Amino acid sequence: MISFENLSFAYSPGRQTLRNVNLEIAEGELCLLVGPTGAGKSTLLGCVNGLVPHFTGGTLTGRVVVDGRDTRKYQPQDLADVVGYVGQDPLKSFVTDIVADEIAYAMEQLGISPAAMRKRIEETLDLMGIAQLRERPLAELSGGQQQRVAIAAVLAAQPQILVLDEPTSALDPTAAQDVLSAISMLVHEVGMTVVLAEHRLERVMHAADSMIWLPGTGAAEYGKPAQLLRHTSVIPPLAALARIAEWEDVPLSVRDARRRIQTGQPVLQLAQSSTSTPPSDTPALQANKITVRYGNTLAVNGVDLALEPGTVTAFMGRNGAGKSSLLWALAGGIPSTGRLSVAGHDPREMTPDASRTLITLVPQTAADLLYLPTVADELAQADKESAAEPGTALAILQSLGIELTPEQDPRDLSEGQRLALALAIQLTARPAVVLLDEPTRGLDYSAKDHLTQIVKELQLAGKAVAISTHDVEFAAAASTRVVLMADGDIIADGDTRTVVTSSPAYSPQMAKVFAPFDVITPSEVAIRLDGEVPAGTKGNPRPNDGQVAS
Amino acid sequence: MKPTVLHPWAWWLWALCLGGVAGFTTNPLLLAWLALAVSTVTIMRRVDAPWARSVRAYFILAATVIVIRVFFQVLLGGSSGHTVLFVLPQIPLPEWAAGITLGGSVTLEPLLYSIYDAMRLAVILLCFGCANSLSSPRQALRSVPAALYEISVAIVIALSVAPQLIESIQRVAKARRLRGHSTKKLRGLIGLVIPVLGDAIDRSISLAASMQSRGFASRRGKRSAAALALMVSAAMLATFGVFLLLGTTWLALAVLCLIAGLLGVIAGMRLAGRRLQVTRFNPPTWSGREWLVAASGLLALANAIIFSGIQPGIYNPGTDPAIWPTLTLPALAPLVTGILVLIPTAPVRLQAPDAAVLVGRQRPLRPSLAAAMEGATTPAPSRVANSRVPKNGVLTQVGQ
């Protein structure tokens, strides 16, 4: 269906993004595209419908043939009836303002008769399960609905191939699941060929037929996910488990892994329990009855909270549960009512300059904090605005384990580097409380591991850290305490191990694989299939010894 | 019956005609009635969609126009009238600013004049705002002749940038505070502009990629040189006709030139439009109701033209000497004809989500999750539920 023949591509001469890619994707396949940030995933996806190089520019050698059409001869618009392309952020791709018009757009461009159009719109709406949304304004839909409309909008032209570039990166887990199940339905029920790039492999790899691995060198490797994941540098939790257990192939679902655990004889070695009781000295932040309202909507409903120094608290819950609003309110960034005290001061009553020496926040789009042309300028500005010794911000950045070229433009950095830069700038003011709003969005596995390290450093330095996140695996690895929120209220609050293993929705894959043992990260697991038990390393079954669902 | 949205140009024509009525009068009573009539029709007939929520902004804009005009009249107006209302301390200005007075006595007559004039502008602005709420400007721009297709696409996209720009300005301004900056100083402004611009550029690139990969410009023939030549020469002929009409006594030749020129332009547009082979889904139709709406607006305008000729004193009351403006019943005729539009039209609701959708949105991933969370949480009130769906969650179609 799609064949890459000797494909090489460079945006600028001398720096090849893709080198000698030779592979073929068969009809009806769900092919996962995996690689670290900057390895050329988007470039390879763009090659499929001709956006690369017709839209992006650059030099392409070799051939890409899609359903018999050579992309050198066909412009992206001439491939619209063969390939449907869906980007990361649905809102940025909408041309019209009503769902039905958006779906009709591609057909209007292809000159399909109004009667046929009408019929296809209805079929597409039903296929994606969004018939009730027909006349709704696009801006009012939830993220998952928007992405489904975006997929419907390309499906209406009846392509045989669907190309999706991280379609879930802007969505919360429920919406992401919604979109991914729609995609897997298209593969299994409609027989479409799908090429999908996705950061969070754990949620799609069980459905994939094949995988393309881009290690970042320009090469590409094609194969079965279970084999490829053995040696990729992108390591979802189950792949990490397979490496520890020295299994020959990677289990692609929790069920696979659980079966193997039961047939083999697992020995668990729980790492030193990090669930130490929170130090009972004075909290770094004390909040009582914090309430945030937007017009008539109650975003945070009278929350009481204390953050102790040297702890990492993860705030979890679905979109709109009030996590971000709470963090912004704690930082004094949005109006709120209730009592708030950071080292005896209320950040809401202080100037922005003064409050950031007590408490700081890195927003979801870290780029919003950056505005100068080079990294060096940003760091110098950070020293100046925090009245710190010149070089402080740079030293902090280096202590986070990040080396950046001073002349680089912050906008050219990867998501992870940008986040670290923003964090270093905010830490220059030496605050005791550090808040991170959705820092894992758009990070690949290695960047996420790095962030985990950074968070641990902050914890050791005695900061009180709070993170809002959707990423269960990250929360399990990085936090000491988890606060679950729903509808503006805190519905669960406790140490990470207890909270994440007792709730099926928020339990990491390792907890599901090893239930009833409360393992939460692969690093805690040591398995020998020969059944020999090293002394004193037996795992502890959970007290309730029950099923996963509590 | 399916709620049908009127052809957008019908509402625009109606609103522009009423704006035209406002242009013919400076009578504050008539203008106030006109504002009331236009906003009543808008509130009763507007669509329930995001773009229709800008009426308030236009009200504020209209009020601002009046306030600014009065402020400058009081401050800089001088004392050309003779009824002194009050006296402000006069600030002496240097030699080179002769002719400008700052402060001094404020007189009634010029003040009244500027209030009347500002009200006229405010009502015209309001008419624009109402047109905006009564029909989507995007829809209006999409129903243009095929030859103007590319231009209309560009304008439609430009229109959609504004709200997104406001959203990203708010987000970035919030983030700037986190770095301890104020956005009021110049430096802060740079810090605001750069991320916002970056956002806007990202967005337009994504949009362009999305349009191209969905087949934009895949059905275009070659630009026809003949059509272009025809249009340019026809436009020149029409312009020549207008000059003749204004300047000479050869009336017949002028009219002939004008008509031939206009016909040439129309033919050229048709010819140019033929190369575009896109189709329209659900194109708005122009039928009886649209004629009635347009007629109501045009009648109002015609009435205003006639009556302002018959009763100039009522349509444009003098301000020197200052007299109380009066209103006669016939003077209200444009209003009455304008408001007649309520009869052929019906309130429009876009399809509201039914209860099942709302529940569906809240549906957790797995049944076990629902069981685990039961009692602990209630579904988050969705924005949609708050703003658009009546309490019982039932589909509403008013007046159908």
Convert chain B into a string of H (helix), E (strand) and C (coil).
CCCCCCCHHHHHHHHHHHHHHHHCCCCHHHHHHHHHHHHHHHHHHCCCCHHHHHHHHHHHHHHHHHHHHHHHHHHHCCCCCCCEEEEEEEECCCHHHCCCCEEEEEEHHHHHHHHHHHHHHHHHHHHHHHHHHHCCHHHHHHCCCHHHHHHHHHHHHHHHHHHHHHHHHHHHHHHHHHCCCCCCCHHHHHHHHHHHHHHHHHHHHHHHHHHHHCCCCCCECCCCHHHHHHHHHHHHHHHHHHHHHHHCCCHHHHHHHHHHHHHHHHHHHHHHHCCECCCCCCCCCCCHHHHHHHHHHHHHHHHHHHHHHHCHHHHCCCCCCCCCCCCCCHHHHHHHHHHHHHCCCCCCCCCCCCHHHHHHHHCCCCHHHHHHHCCCCCCCCCHHHHHCCCCCCCCCCCCC
Q: Domain A285-509 adopts which CATH fold?
A: Rossmann fold (3.40.50)
pLDDT confidence of residue A268: 59
Angle at Cα A304 formed by Cα A299 and Cα A306, nearest 5°? Answer: 120
Interface membership of B379 toward A (CB under 8 Å):
yes
Interface membership of B391 toward A (CB under 8 Å):
no
Residue with tokens 């502009």: B193
Q: Rounded to whole angstroms, what are the CA distances from B341 to B28, B292, B295?
A: 23, 7, 9
pLDDT confidence of residue B348: 61
Q: How confident is the model at residue A3 (pLDDT cuts 50, 70, 90)?
A: very high
B350 contact residues in A (CB cutoff 8 A): 98, 135-137
**Closest to A162 measured CA to CA, from A51, A52, A30:** A30
Closest chain A CA to residue B182: A352
Interface membership of A370 toward B (CB under 8 Å):
yes
Mean pLDDT over A420-439 rounds to: 92
Interface membership of B351 toward A (CB under 8 Å):
yes
Closest chain B CA to residue A107: B279
Q: How far is B170 from chain A (nearest CA, A)?
A: 11
Interface membership of B194 toward A (CB under 8 Å):
yes
Q: How confident is the model at residue A28 (pLDDT cuts 50, 70, 90)?
A: very high
Closest chain A CA to residue B174: A333
Interface membership of B184 toward A (CB under 8 Å):
no
Cβ of A371 within 8 Å of Cβ of B157? The answer is: no
Which residues of A, range 201-260, sit inside 8 Å of B by Cβ?
none
**Between B181, B280, B353, which is nearest A136 by CB?**
B353
Count of A-B CB contacts under 8 Å: 228
Q: How confident is the model at residue B353 (pLDDT cuts 50, 70, 90)?
A: very low
Residue A221 backbone dihedrals phi, psi, to 5 degrees: -125, 135
List pLDDT tens digits, range A390-421.
989 999 888 888 888 888 888 888 888 889 99
With a cut of 60, say whether residue B241 has pLDDT above it. Answer: yes
Interface membership of B361 toward A (CB under 8 Å):
yes
Region of poorest pLDDT, from A486-490, B153-157, B346-350: B346-350
List pLDDT tens digits, range B193-204.
888 888 888 888
Interface membership of A411 toward B (CB under 8 Å):
yes
Q: How confident is the model at residue B8 (pLDDT cuts 50, 70, 90)?
A: confident
With a cut of 80, say whether residue A182 has pLDDT above it. Answer: yes
With a cut of 60, say whether residue B383 has pLDDT above it. Answer: no
Interface membership of A379 toward B (CB under 8 Å):
no
Helices (H), A467-530: 472-478, 496-502, 509-514
pLDDT confidence of residue B360: 36
A100 contact residues in B (CB cutoff 8 A): 281-282
What's the CA gap between B47 and A30, in Å, rounded? Answer: 42
Q: How confident is the model at residue A305 (pLDDT cuts 50, 70, 90)?
A: very high
With a cut of 90, say whether residue A274 has pLDDT above it. Answer: no
Q: Are A501 and A281 in contact (CB under 8 A)?
A: no
Region of poorest pLDDT, from A1-10, A19-28, B2-11: B2-11
A421 against A503, higher pLDDT: A421
Q: For testing the chain B interface, which of A42, A51, A95 should be mutated: the one with the most B CBs within 10 Å?
A: A95
Interface membership of A374 toward B (CB under 8 Å):
no
Question: Where does chain A hold its CATH 3.40.50.300 domain(s)?
Answer: 2-234, 285-509
With a cut of 90, say whether residue A212 has pLDDT above it. Answer: yes
A157 contact residues in B (CB cutoff 8 A): 214-215
pLDDT confidence of residue A424: 92
pLDDT confidence of residue B222: 65
CATH class of residue range A2-234: alpha beta
List pLDDT tens digits, range A101-126.
899 999 988 888 889 999 999 999 99
Interface membership of A143 toward B (CB under 8 Å):
no
Report residue A174 as tokens: 């429920």
Percent of all residues in chain A with a pLDDT value above 90, rounded to a whole number:
40
Which residues of A, range 391-410, sit inside 8 Å of B by Cβ?
none
pLDDT confidence of residue A265: 57
Which residues of A, range 145-164, sit inside 8 Å of B by Cβ?
145, 153-154, 157
Interface membership of A347 toward B (CB under 8 Å):
no
Which residues of B, range 14-73, sit inside 8 Å of A by Cβ?
49-51
**Between B195, B357, B376, which is nearest A486 by CB?**
B376
**Between A117, A136, A385, which is nearest B281 by CB?**
A117
Cβ of B178 within 8 Å of Cβ of A360? The answer is: yes
Which residues of A, range 112-141, sit inside 8 Å of B by Cβ?
112-114, 117-118, 121, 132-137, 139-140
The letter for the amino acid at A315 is F
DSSP A348: G
A430 against A266, higher pLDDT: A430
Report residue B336 as tokens: 């009455």
Q: How far from chain centre, in Å, is Cα A269?
A: 29
Mean pLDDT over A231-249 rounds to: 88
Q: How confident is the model at residue A279 (pLDDT cuts 50, 70, 90)?
A: low
